[in-house]
Chains A and B, each alone.
Chain A
Amino acid sequence: ETGVTQSPTHLIKTRGQQVTLRCSSQSGHNTVSWYQQALGQGPQFIFQYYREEENGRGNFPPRFSGLQFPNYSSELNVNALELDDSALYLCASSLGGGHTDTQYFGPGTRLTVL
């Protein structure tokens, strides 16, 4: 157990809808990164939040947005859902911005878009 929790565990949405996924970081960590993992693929970096500010973004469109709260928990919002958004969404917390510190991953949220 890493101490990183994600909710919900599973989610089913239809095309065009909006979804919010949540992540609680490990105690003392101020950085949260989000990843999308399609079936049979490696994770793809969506973005990272460090002390409530976006601190790097992968190749994802603006309909993928996020927030980090003062307690360092985070949300991932996806608007106008597409079928290809079906994936496992992983968050990871770490201490310090960037990717040089060990990241602790949550169990993920499985999103299915119909």
Chain B
Amino acid sequence: SQQGEEDPQALSIQEGENATMNCSYKTSINNLQWYRQNSGRGLVHLILIRSNEREKHSGRLRVTLDTSKKSSSLLITASRAADTASYFCATIVGNDMRFGAGTRLTVKP
């Protein structure tokens, strides 16, 4: 069963715009991770944010975590066509890791 739910399911933007994806979950977590997947291939780890952290940055990526609302967001700034992919959040509780269904991002050149 999946714990996280990404919103929106699909997002289409122009190159150079920012993309924001949200993730909501149901139970308390140890940490939350964001992954990217291109065309049904292997996932690429983007960022891990721990339950006691509120914000993390990595290059053009910014992740926030609000444990009171049980939600996280991933912001990609100045998007590029190469950012076109599916993005998943994954919540970690103990040794269990649960992914959401993902947001499909399309960046038009």
- State the A residues within 8 Å of B (CB): 2, 4, 33, 35, 37, 40-45, 48, 55-56, 58-59, 88, 90, 92, 97-100, 102-108
Contacts of A99 in B (CB 8 A): 31, 33, 90, 92, 95, 97
Q: Contact at B98–A4, with CB atoms within 8 Å?
A: no
A-B contact pairs, 28 of them (CB 8 A): A4-B42, A33-B97, A37-B40, A40-B101, A41-B101, A42-B100, A43-B43, A43-B88, A44-B2, A44-B99, A45-B96, A45-B98, A55-B95, A56-B94, A56-B95, A56-B96, A58-B96, A88-B40, A90-B42, A92-B43, A98-B95, A99-B95, A99-B97, A100-B31, A102-B48, A103-B43, A106-B42, A108-B40
Contacts of A103 in B (CB 8 A): 43, 45
Given contacts A41-B2, A42-B88, A102-B48, contact A107 B42 (CB under 8 A): yes
Q: Contact at A108–B42, with CB atoms within 8 Å?
A: yes
Contacts of A100 in B (CB 8 A): 30-31, 48, 92
Q: Contact at B99–A42, with CB atoms within 8 Å?
A: yes
- State the B residues within 8 Å of A (CB): 1-2, 4, 30-31, 33, 40-45, 48, 88, 90, 92, 94-102
CA distance A102 to B96 in the complex (A): 15
Contacts of A48 in B (CB 8 A): 95
Which residue of B33, B43, B100, B102 has the most chain A CB atoms within 10 A of its CB atom?
B43
Contacts of B4 in A (CB 8 A): 42
Contacts of A58 in B (CB 8 A): 96
Minimum CB distance partner of B100 in chain A = A42
Contacts of A37 in B (CB 8 A): 40
Contacts of B100 in A (CB 8 A): 42
Q: Contact at A108–B48, with CB atoms within 8 Å?
A: no
